[in-house]
Structure 1
Amino acid sequence: MTVVYIQKRKLSYNQQIEHLKQKGVQFHKISEQDALHYLQYNTYLFKLSAYRKNYPKDITNTRYLHLDFSNLVDLAVIDMYLRALIVKLSLNIEHFAKVKLLRQVTDNKHEDGYCIVREYLSSLDESSRHNILSELERNARSPYCKEAYAKYKDNFPVWVFIEIISFGSFLSFYKFCAERFSAQFASFPNKPLHNSRDMINDFYLMLSVKRIRNAAAHNNCILNDLRAQKHREQVSFELIRSLRNDLGFGSESIRKKVSNIRVAQILTCLYMHKKLASSQGIQRHLSAELHEFADRLFQKNTYDDNQLIKSTFTLLASAIDKWYPIG
């Protein structure tokens, strides 16, 4: 079978401006000359033009409506701020999930901190065990992990193990621990150690956090397509319930918004940080940053002519206001 590759020609910067004009992009608030400079030194066409997906097209389906170059710039800047926040939020989520797990281990008289790691590794199939052992060996070459690995490589305690593995591997371990604790609780009903169901809910919510963290860490666009769409990722009922009860949004409005995987993952990240970050200082610091971000959403543009963007930004601002109150 012959493979046909589609190869688009390279455009000069002047040709990029003409290409945008042909697509209906206007230059009322930012001149064509300033836009050309922006494309040369601030970003590049492929990344910036991705935000066009948030705008409808005309009847010919060839030109975008109500789209000024300044809108693309504004969305790109907001997206940049959002990516930085997501990385910060997700790092905190990972940290406090580890704090929560270690709290359960520390308070559990039936755990010594070593057996749980050995049993986890034994529970993995051959391929998964090989992958995590290879991951540990790779991390052992890091100047930040090699001493801990060398000291404990034959018998990892949980507090060392979770420092060396990746976030993805940690989530797998977290789920194993939740299920293990649940089994222990069944054996010792008079000694409730934790809410294992809550930890299992954490696991599924953090899977969503991991996906958007990876996108943000790789500098992928996040806000470039906010349209409702079908996706395979199941949105947690815990998140839906909080959106409905805490934010006061109707079920239909919530359903439409979380049908966009990007919006669902952003909200999950905000929710999980609120839920897990047990440090009042960190919550207070992040609240201030998040409110700065919320204020920035409509600072340059009201988006009155684009209800898709306006309603999404309104939802994010409401979530920040309710989940991260200040003052």
Structure 2
Amino acid sequence: MNAESLPVLEQHLLSALSSPPQEIRRLFHGRGRCWPGLEQLTVDWLQNQLLVSLFKEPDQAFLSELRAMLARMTETEQWQASGAVSMLLHYRDRDGSPLECLWGVINDYPQVKENGHSYQLDLGRKQNNGLFLDMRNGRQWVHDNAKGMKVLNLFAYTCGFSVAAIAGGADSVVNLDMARAALERGRESHRLNGHNLNQVRFLGHDLFKSWGKVRKLGPYDMVIIDPPTFQKGSFALTRDYRKILRRLPELLTEEGLVLACVNDPYLTSDFLIDEMNEEAPDLKFSERLPNPPEFEDINPESSLKAMVFRR
């Protein structure tokens, strides 16, 4: 990271805060490599908290200049009129991913809105806060297509897709993830939206040891697959994704939909298309969902790939 690039970030943020978003949004996406010298930095607006995230430990000169620039921002008219209650600095590359409050008072468990739906976040305890903002259009697609459907949400994490599906009129959703604490966060998000939890199941299981249970609860009209690139001891994308795809014919209804996702910068959209053709050839590629405009990437194939397949 290059301290000489910080004036660009400062102007970008002041412009964004002159009319702050009403919902949770990314304000600056250095990870897309469109801003030289700022590739390991992102800034998110959590409706009234500004979250600056460092994905790589910077040198002391950069960190000092960044802190000074952020301190100057809190004295501007844009900041004071934004309604912000805190400014946070997240060291994602440090042990424990510590979160530092630079200004104001942190709200550890903010409730935020996206596409009109409420989500419960959890700040300062892990690398991720509970909602991947680049998947906003994916959650909207699920909302728009899930009416009357039985939905299976694999690698559900905090159940963002589940919230969108029930809000869109899905009959039921089965969420599966090994992280039971994340599923509990998802349960809370459903409560925030006033959803009937009798329509939602939360399975804290290892998918590859639970095929029988998953199949028994089906068949499903929609299957969502949004796995991590790597999860120690349980999942490696290039090795294990195909094991899921080959099970799709037995999980889906005759006209079932699949939203399959990959967020590995080294794998292109052809990876999913080729793997699906080999493992579940009756599922045909339909479309790749566009990423939100604020997630501009110098190479679109390095960014999130959210791909729709239809039987």
> TM > 0.5 between the two?
no
Q: Which has the higher contact order (CA 8 A, sep 6+)?
A: 1
TM-score after normalising by structure 2: 0.29
- Larger helix proportion of the pair: 1
Query: Normalised by the size of structure 1, how large is the TM-score?
Result: 0.28
The structure carrying a bigger strand percent of its residues is 2
Which of the two has higher C-alpha Rg? Answer: 1
